[in-house]
Structure 1
Amino acid sequence: MAENKKVTTLKEHVITGNSEISPGVHLITFERPWNFTPGQVVKIALNNEHPPRIYSLCSGNNETEAAVLFNIKEDGLLTPKLSGCIPGEKVLVSEPYGSFLGTKDAAWWIATGTGIAPFYSMFRSGQTKNKKLIHGVSYLNQFYFEDELEWKLEENYVRCCSRESSCNTFPGRVTDYINGIEKLPEVKYYLCGKAIMVVEMRDLLISKGVPFENILAEIYF
């Protein structure tokens, strides 16, 4: 879920699908009546009694349905109920907005956890040329969409796992992976995940000579 304080109107959309793609992690799809740019966010609520929460779109901009990816927060007001929604029920959704936008420029996408959502949207929208995706998680079952990403991106899809190991993952955090690279390419660096990762990665990139203006960040809570 990305932070943004923009105030906007929410309208009803019909839920078309709800998949638990990993324990406690859901992908919700709903009708999409608007166009959007990959990387944008929407506000979501189930009623008008509680404030909406903000999520990055996790679908391609040529698809008929829109999607959001979220993990259940047991003490939350929205995600426990949202995870139980079934197709045909309605959800309140804003129009897309935000400035964390994908482009055709060469870039490295660096994400942790469900912070992969905007990058998956960019990927599904065809923005794969000159892109490298580095995804960090704690456990192997948290590499969402990995088969599709590996097939298309091949060596430009890097999995970093800090608490489990396998033959095709880097053993450690995304910051460990980046820290081990002697010279980074002159590209844009997109960061999406929890604040501590974003801050640490930004500082690390700057220490390695990446200009501040080449770093774009979206913080998830």
Structure 2
Amino acid sequence: MSAKTKKEPQLFKQVVTNNDEISPGVHVISFRRNYDFLPGQVVKIAVDTDHPPRIYSICSGNQEDEIRILFNIKDDGFLTPIMAAMIPGDNLYISEPYGSFLGTNEPAWWIATGTGIAPFYAMYRAGLSENKTLIHGVRQLNQFYFEYELEWSMGENYVRCCSQEQSCDVFPGRITSYLSSLPELPNVRYYLCGKALMVVEVRDLLIEKGIDYSNIIAEIYF
């Protein structure tokens, strides 16, 4: 279907049930789950019917009563400053979930930067973390969202990489530096979620280390 004829998904009014600032400028906003979804899928979100929606990964398990969305405030943006100021009872406009960046029960590595952790947290909450390694790269230590829960559950299979601050049990550098330091990588699926530059750099590095292109699945955040 061409771009001219492709229909935008319909948006439905949803009532905000909660809005927590979990780190400076980073929020988790919630609303009731009125439909089924698969872990890793996205929704389109708008604050009214006059402005175009943006795409966000669902950040909650698919059996939970609420759907949660993780986002950071874009100071020059329209949508996120309004979302950050919302309180329970306010309205959002949400599409039904869609997308093919889906978690499975197969062994895999999950690789994320920043808020790109969202779909992997949804997969984890849906019970798909067995046989998984999760690598999360951030600039500052307060950006390891959900780290206490993930560390308690996944143990050594939860790897944190921080490029600008240091702490015990955290790799001092970017994800690419961590991957480069490994003598070999397992022959599993690699799921990448983050900004385009990270996805390209990590994809190329994985290929250089012998991972087949068909085993690399990417979701790019804009």
Task: Please tell me the TM-score bracket, short chain as reference.
Answer: over 0.9
Aligned-partner Cα distance in 2 for 1:39–1:129: 16
Tell me which residue corresponds to 1:182: 183
Aligned-partner Cα distance in 1 for 2:208–2:162: 23
- State the one-letter code of the partner of 2:184: K
Q: Aligned pair 1:193/2:194, yes or no?
A: yes
> After TM superposition, where is structure 1 displaced by more than 3 Å over at least 4 residues in a row?
none
Q: How many residues align?
A: 217
Task: Please list the CA deviations of residues 114-166 of structure 1 after superposition, one character each: whole Å capped at 9, or x if unmatched.
Answer: 00000000000000110010000000000000000000000000000000000
Aligned-partner Cα distance in 1 for 2:196–2:7: 19
- State the one-letter code of the partner of 2:170: T
Tell me which residue corresponds to 1:214: 215
How many Å apart are 1:182 and its aligned residue?
Answer: 1.2
Query: Normalization by structure 2: what TM-score?
Result: 0.97
Report % sequence identity.
65
**Where in structure 1 are there 5+ consecutive unaligned residues?**
none
Query: Normalization by structure 1: what TM-score?
Result: 0.97
- State the one-letter code of the partner of 1:73: K
Tell me which residue corresponds to 1:205: 206
How many Å apart are 1:205 and its aligned residue?
Answer: 0.2
Aligned-partner Cα distance in 2 for 1:137–1:6: 36
Q: Aligned pair 1:45/2:46, yes or no?
A: yes
Aligned-partner Cα distance in 2 for 1:160–1:127: 22
Tell me which residue corresponds to 1:29: 30
Tell me which residue corresponds to 2:3: none
User: Judging changes above 3 Å, is the alpha-carbon distance between structure 1 residues 141 and 40 closer, same or farther for their aligned structure 2 residues?
Assistant: same
Tell me which residue corresponds to 1:85: 86
Aligned-partner Cα distance in 2 for 1:168–1:144: 16
Q: Look up the SS of the partner of 1:79 in the other structure.
A: helix
- State the one-letter code of the partner of 1:127: L
Tell me which residue corresponds to 1:64: 65
Aligned-partner Cα distance in 2 for 1:167–1:53: 37
How many Å apart are 1:20 and its aligned residue?
Answer: 0.4
How many Å apart are 1:6 and its aligned residue?
Answer: 6.7
Pairing of 1:107-122 with structure 2 (within 5 A): 107-122=108-123
- State the one-letter code of the partner of 2:101: F
**Where in structure 2 are there 5+ consecutive unaligned residues?**
1-5
Aligned-partner Cα distance in 2 for 1:116–1:6: 29
